Amino acid sequence: MYCYLCSQEYVGLLTTNYYCESCLRIKRYVNIHNKRVIQILDSVLSRSVEKQNNKVKLEVINEIEKKKEELDLNDSISLYNNKDKLITELKENLKKSKKTH
């Protein structure tokens, strides 16, 4: 048998059933929630060109923010490493000055 909705072949338990198990669930949702199912599907699965552009912009902004965070982290690591070098140099200078005095 073939499902009336998705056209996939399936083994139906009842010969009066026209839908596969997944499509039967969808049909039940539509029966219970009516137009709300269509609204949800439209808002989630389909986007207008404007929404597509907004989504692309949002993804680009998120990617830029991630890169900024990575750069900030790298800068912090670099500053930390420089701080360690500076402390080491100061300790060495302090030891030298103690030896000369």
> Domain ranges in the chain?
1-46, 47-101
**1-10, 12-21, 52-61 — most confident range:** 1-10
Residue with tokens 């998705």: 6
33-56: pLDDT as tens digits: 988 888 888 777 777 788 878 878
61-86: pLDDT as tens digits: 888 888 888 887 777 777 777 777 77
Compute the distance between CA of residue 31 and CA of residue 52 in angstroms, rounded to an integer: 30
Compute the distance between CA of residue 16 and CA of residue 57 in angstroms, rounded to an integer: 49
Is the overall model pTM greater than 0.75, yes or no? no
